[in-house]
Amino acid sequence: MLGEGSDTFRSLRSLDVYPPAFIHTYVGNVDQLHERAKAAGADVTDLGTAPVGDRRFTATDPEGQLWVFAQRVR
């Protein structure tokens, strides 16, 4: 977020709007991060391997933003 939202600011979730983009980030140990996220009660998908060789999962934050966490394995 850049700056501060005014009193009239409304998040995408409160407007019932699907996020226009998702955030994709590479991590050093995606299996460990997935386990930590699940243990914390995060809304995550199962781990999988993408056709390009990344091991990854997605998570949805409380505002409805979609995140992809991946690790290159091939």
Residues 22-68: tens digit of each pLDDT: 899 999 999 999 999 999 999 999 999 988 899 999 998 887 888 99
Give residue 1's pLDDT.
Answer: 45
The CATH number of domain 24-72, selected from 3.40.920.10, 3.40.50.150, 3.30.720.110, 1.10.4160.10: 3.30.720.110
Give residue 27's pLDDT.
Answer: 97
Query: Where exactly are the structural domains of the chain?
Result: 24-72
Give residue 72's pLDDT.
Answer: 94
What ranges make up the beta strands (E) of 1-53?
A: 22-26, 43-44, 48-49
Q: Is 67 helix (H, G, I), strand (E, B) or coil?
A: strand
pTM of the model: 0.74
